[in-house]
Amino acid sequence: MARYKSPLKKQKLTKKNRQTKWAPFWLVLKVLGKGKKVHPSRLTVVKRSWRRGRTKVT
């Protein structure tokens, strides 16, 4: 990629990076209740990783 990214591209990349993260651990307790052992990734809608393909940012 270029040495200097435009602010708009940086903004888009920041959003896409946020969408890769799992839900916080306390959300499992809040949504499913105490005693449930579920991985936080089950509660996130958008999942991305280096294996699942790219999200194109232009």
Q: Are 25 and 37 in contact (CB under 8 A)?
A: no
Q: Is the pLDDT of residue 57 over 80?
A: no
Residue with tokens 């591209």: 9
* Span 12-35, average pLDDT: 82
**What pLDDT score was predicted for residue 52?**
59
Q: For all residues of the chain together, what is the average pLDDT?
A: 78
Determine the Cα–Cα distance for residues 6 and 48; give it in Å rounded to an integer.
Answer: 23
